[in-house]
Structure 1
Amino acid sequence: MKLIDDRESQMAQGISAAELQALKLRAAELRAEGAGGTGTKEKEREAADCVSLIESLEGLDRQIAELLHRVVKDEAPHLDPQVRDGVPAYAREGTVIVFFQPASQHDSRYGSIGFNDEAFLDDGDFWATSFAVLAVSDKFEAKLRGLVGKAAG
């Protein structure tokens, strides 16, 4: 497929390999969304895609993503695992509540766990919606469990 290779080559100019991979993942997500389906089979496919993405990560990124996946299953089983914008994400009724942004995806020194505005984390006029993660520990897991439980409602 020469045409596709040429397009990828043109797109790749000025785009890192991680960004190109994220673009490809997002294109696949959009194609899958276009295929329709919101039932159990679609949710199972999305969950399998999320697990596959987590398994493709390495090192600390993978440890964090695996922990987040376990915590969501334990604390907020009503959230649906899926891949959004090339990252593991967990949604309530189609709206992403919590996600993991791997460090490797943007050559960052840390990965981060983020919460979208539909998360129930409001705390007055000012609160955190993203957390940098440098290590997995019992203390981190306890904090994460509390945040996910609160965010998911």
Structure 2
Amino acid sequence: MIDKQTFSDIEREAMHERALELRQSKNTEADVLDKIAEMPANEAFLAMAIHRIVKEVAPKLKPKTWYSMPAYANDQGKVVLFFQSASKFKSRYSTLGFNDTAHLDSEDFWATSFAIREMTTEVEQQIRCLIKKSIS
């Protein structure tokens, strides 16, 4: 039995949603778009921009939800990257995260998570480069 003090209400809700995702027979792009539509407008804008970039730069990645977040998986179904909205975890900023299936390795130390507050041309270019590198 998990002690209620171990996980926050938000974390328990995310785990519950992940369990529901695993029980679903399908987890499709439509599910991702539904999750994005539930976000506040500014976060939905960021998530849709990332969704568009992934589809352009890495069309082989499959959209799916992961702990109720928009995510993109490789051919083996392993999540490569995900978007975490700020409001979901009551955070100061949204995050673009990469799992260990992403090929971002750079010597002995590299970032796997990036704060994102606004989608500028420069930010979009950096995201494009990260996604390309993650699937190389």
8 Å Cα contact 1:90/1:96 also seen in 2: yes
Residue in structure 2 matched with residue 129 of structure 1 by the alignment: 112
Residue in structure 2 matched with residue 30 of structure 1 by the alignment: 22
Flag the structure with higher helix content.
Answer: 1
TM-score, normalised on structure 2? Answer: 0.86
- 1:102 aligned onto 2:85: yes
Q: Mark the structure with the bigger radius of gyration.
A: 1
Equivalent residue of 2:64, what SS? strand
User: How many residues matched?
Assistant: 130
RMSD: 1.8
Letter in 2 for 1:146: C
8 Å Cα contact 1:103/1:111 also seen in 2: yes
8 Å Cα contact 1:19/1:105 also seen in 2: no
Q: Percent identity at matched positions? A: 40
Distance, in Å, in 2 between the alignment partners of 1:56 and 1:15 is 21
Distance, in Å, in 2 between the alignment partners of 1:15 and 1:114 is 21
Shift of 1:84: 0.7
8 Å Cα contact 1:88/1:100 also seen in 2: yes
Distance, in Å, in 2 between the alignment partners of 1:107 and 1:139 is 26
Distance, in Å, in 2 between the alignment partners of 1:30 and 1:123 is 32
Residue in structure 1 matched with residue 121 of structure 2 by the alignment: 138
Residue in structure 2 matched with residue 52 of structure 1 by the alignment: 34
Letter in 2 for 1:103: A
Equivalent residue of 1:99, what SS? strand
8 Å Cα contact 1:26/1:84 also seen in 2: yes
**Which runs of structure 1 show a deviation greater than 2 angstroms over 4 or more consecutive aligned residues?**
18-25
Distance, in Å, in 2 between the alignment partners of 1:98 and 1:141 is 15
- Structure 1 unaligned residues grouped into runs of 5+: 1-10, 36-41
Residue in structure 2 matched with residue 5 of structure 1 by the alignment: none
